[in-house]
Structure 1
Amino acid sequence: MTLLIKICGLSTPESIDTAIEAGADLIAFNFHPRSPRYVELDRAAALAAHARGRVETVALVVNAGDDALSAIRSAVEPDSWQFHGQETPERVRDVRAVWGLPVMKAIGVSGPADLAALASFAPVADRLLLDAKPPKDAAYPGGHGQPFDWRVLSALPPHRPFMLSGGLTPENVGEAIRLVRGFGVNLLGVDVSSGVESAPGIKDPDRIRAFVAAAREAEGAR
């Protein structure tokens, strides 16, 4: 299976075009107000329309209520959700049933014990995203540019697919892919946000292209 590449936190038509032309498979719009990548609903709707039919669009939310999800679903029409908060397996199950869209669930990882959560989410989430845990005083979830120790992933069962996030960059994504796949686990894809930025929330076209190229090169080296 071809490695999936996801570029998260896009906020301009130009960055969308760059990601698509570079060969990304998924792009995400961030609806968490505290994030520097936050996009308001009207803007996200226009961006999603610009991308529609060319790439899979993902709506990233953090502990969003039904009203917020309904508004996003109606205005943006994303292809899937990304839950990046403290959502429970029951919440993931219910959202899939009500809105009929696939759900990607992000799970923060700092050590082997954090991998236990995968067993609860695997039956209800369409994709699992393993991300670095944020600093304790962080205003929003995610790796904040710092990777976790990828060696903990060697404990994963080979039948459980997952995507990798947290501190990935054009400089280290190839190393991450080669190392993790060397464990014999099922790496479905990679995800990046701050690692392709020139400043918080500002995507760098050259870094987007370099990230996708490095990931594809590592994928082909198997």
Structure 2
Amino acid sequence: MPMPEIKICGLTTPGTLDAALAAGADWVGFVRFARSPRHVALEEARRLSAQAKGRAGRVVLLVDADDEAVAAAVEAIGPDLIQLHGRETPGRVAAIRAATGRPVMKALGIAGRDDLAAIAAYAGHADRLLLDAKAPPGAVLPGGNGVSFEWDILAGAALPADTMLSGGLAPGNVAEAIARTGLTAVDVSSGVESAPGVKDPDRIAAFVAAARGTTPR
């Protein structure tokens, strides 16, 4: 099995971004969603993106953003990948991809096997898919809630290449998640935090090491 790709999402400070880069993250994510504890202002996102440039892929996470918000985020961050984590339709995904000229990853909320039907609808419009645990009833955030779905429902599913797994991942379970799903890309946010929105450098290092079957750098 190839070495898994690792995305650390919701980074908000230069120090924790450096921790993710030092640990060997392939992707670093910056959240543009005001209701999230991981939200970063455009100018701070611009600085963080510059810090990561050439060291890891840069991802901007957007939630049901309008055209103006998408354009502002792309201008400030210059992302290598746009992650859409709201209720964006396949048509909206295609439109953002065309307007920005950037690859797009669409997050799909998964709770049961029936939710996998959305994969076919989005596969032709998004460059990548991210399978995240569906937000619990009443949740404020569409992701980053620290919950997982039953990974075994993915057995036998036709998943596009480079599909990424998220939802409730942490240093203690990421190796099992990779083994049980066969997916070779994982995304973590709350699982490497000491408090909502507060990334922990030691947990970041432990997560990367666990995913790759190595020891922390």
Instruction: Please say whether Structure 1 and Structure 2 have the same fold, judged by a TM-score greater than 0.5.
Output: yes
* 1:56 equivalent in alignment to 2:52: no
1: CA distance, partners of 2:67 / 2:159: 35
Partner of 1:104: 105
Q: How does 1:177-216 map to 2 (within 5 A)?
A: 177-181=178-182, 187-216=183-212
CA-to-aligned-CA distance 1:75-120 (integer Å, 9 cap, x gap): 1111110000000111111111111000000000000000000001
TM-score scaled to structure 2, two decimals? Answer: 0.95
AA of the residue aligned to 1:10: L
The amino acid of 2:45's aligned partner reads A
Report Cα offsets for 1:54-80 as digits up to 9, x if no partner.
110000000000000111111111111
User: Which has the larger displacement, 12-21 or 201-210?
Assistant: 12-21
Count matched residues.
213
Task: Give the unaligned 5+ runs of structure 1.
Answer: 182-186
Q: CA deviation at 1:2?
A: 3.3
Structure 2 portions without partners, runs of 5+: none
Structure 1 residue identity aligned to 2:112: G
Aligned-residue identity in percent: 55
Superposed CA RMSD in Å reads: 1.3
The structural deviation recorded for 1:155 is: 3.4
Cα distance, 1:175 vs. partner?
A: 0.8
Do residues 217 (structure 1) and 187 (structure 2) align? no
Separation in 2, partners of 1:139, 1:9: 16
Look up the SS of the partner of 2:213 in the other structure: helix
Counterpart AA for 1:125: A
Counterpart residue identity of residue 167, structure 2: G
Tell me the distance in 1 between the aligned counterparts of 2:171 and 2:87: 29
**Distance in 1 (alpha carbons) for counterparts of 2:144 and 2:181:** 18
Q: Aligned AA for 1:51?
A: A
Deviations 1:24-73 (A, max 9, x none): 10010000110110111111111111111111000000000000011111
- Displacement, 1:161? 3.9
Letter in 2 for 1:139: V
Rounded to whole Å, the distance in 2 between the matches of 1:49 and 1:65 is 24
Q: 1:161 to 1:49 in 2, by over 3 A?
A: closer
**TM-fit CA distance, 1:159:** 5.5
Contact 2:12 2:30 in 1 (8 A): yes
Checking the alignment, whether the CA contact within 8 Å between 1:133 and 1:143 is kept in structure 2 is no
Distance 1:158 1:75 in 2: 32
